[in-house]
Amino acid sequence: MFLIGMAMAHRGADLKVGGTISLRLRRAAPSILRNPAGDCFLRQSEVIYPTSGKSIVKFQLISPAWRLVLGLYLVTGGAGFIGSHIMEEIVRRGEYVRVLDNLSTGSKDNLSSVLDKVDFHEGDIRDPATLRRVFAGVDYVIHLAALSSVVRSIEDPVSTTEVNLMGTLQVLLAARDTQVKRVVMAATGAAYGDSAILPLVETLKPTPLSPYALMKLTGEYYGQIFHRLYGVEFVALRRPTPLPWTRPLKTSHHG
């Protein structure tokens, strides 16, 4: 709650080491404030007690500049084509963002314009230990990491199931355990199969025709169940293939 209150007063403010900010608080403040990763970055330097009854606490920045934000975003698959564009937009808005990507199909080159402004972690969504680390302090998750190829899923349904379904399940478990506020998942229009009805709408009955479509749809159902059972706020976006087709070859199977 401290970070939220501070962010509301100083949203998007970049501080230099040694600089100070003042917060008007109703209750006692800790002597040290930490960012979501657990790093110490603000130290209490002075407390003033005016007649209003609210204390004014001054904090001094004691570690490299930290962008004060309303929320911490995690983008899985953030080094892919769509993910990198989302990262750029979050950074443009002045928010703080963390990215998780195993670089099996994504590339750091896609993040060249923002790499120095994001918290990059190389790792796999199927690894619970990795997820526990990168989910620390996260408010919102944009889940894009996937093997996004119908053809590949037909040739290798096992890998598609492991990444697109079991990986999504691990993401949902981590979101539940760390009390993430919302998970937004990139689903797929392939869930509708070869529907002759256009335009596609959410009320159409899903008819997946490939392991890729089936695993993505099952991931949606998992998200709905996690919302009902555990209160995890979940949104699935059934997006079509982005056009024009401008993805580099290395990201052709990635979110």
Q: Evaluate whether residue 147 is within a structural domain.
A: yes
What SS3 state is found at 97? strand
Q: Evaluate whether residue 103 is within a structural domain.
A: yes
SS3 of 53-74: the string is: CCEEEEEEECCCCCECCCCEEE
Domain of residue 171: give its range.
Answer: 72-251
**CA angle 212–173–183, rounded 5-degree value:** 70
| pLDDT of residue 90 exceeding 70 | yes
Are 33 and 42 spatial neighbours (Cβ–Cβ below 8 Å)?
A: yes
The two tokens of residue 9 are 């007063």
As a dihedral over the C-alpha atoms of residue 26, residue 32, residue 33, residue 34, rounded to 10 degrees, the angle is: -160
* Residues 170-219 pLDDT 10s: 999 999 999 999 999 999 999 999 888 888 888 899 999 999 999 999 99
Q: Is 192 a catalytic residue?
A: no
Determine the Cα–Cα distance for residues 208 and 179; give it in Å rounded to an integer.
31
Same domain for 76 and 46: no
* Residues 100-136 pLDDT 10s: 999 998 999 999 999 988 999 999 999 999 999 999 9
User: What pLDDT sits at residue 205?
Assistant: 92
CATH of the domain at 177: 3.40.50.720
- Print burial letters for 175-195: b (CB count within 10 Å at least 16), e (below 16): beebebeebbbbbbebbbeee
Same domain for 41 and 82: no
Instruction: Indicate the number of domains in the chain.
Output: 2
Lowest pLDDT segment from 10-24, 141-155, 201-215: 10-24
| pLDDT of residue 9 exceeding 60 | no
Q: Evaluate whether residue 67 is within a structural domain.
A: no
Of 212, 221, 222, 230, which one is the catalytic site residue? 212
The two tokens of residue 133 are 């680390």
User: What pLDDT sits at residue 92?
Assistant: 87
Cβ atoms within 10 Å of 198's Cβ, excluding its own: 7
Same domain for 88 and 41: no
Q: Evaluate whether residue 66 is within a structural domain.
A: no
What SS3 state is found at 17? coil
Same domain for 89 and 48: no
Q: Enter the pTM of the model.
A: 0.71
Determine the Cα–Cα distance for residues 72 and 167; give it in Å rounded to an integer.
21
User: What pLDDT sits at residue 13?
Assistant: 45
Are 235 and 181 spatial neighbours (Cβ–Cβ below 8 Å)?
A: no
* Residues 30-83 pLDDT 10s: 554 554 444 445 555 555 544 455 555 565 554 444 444 457 899 999 999 999
Is residue 28 very low, low, confident or very high in pLDDT (cuts 50, 70, 90)?
Answer: low
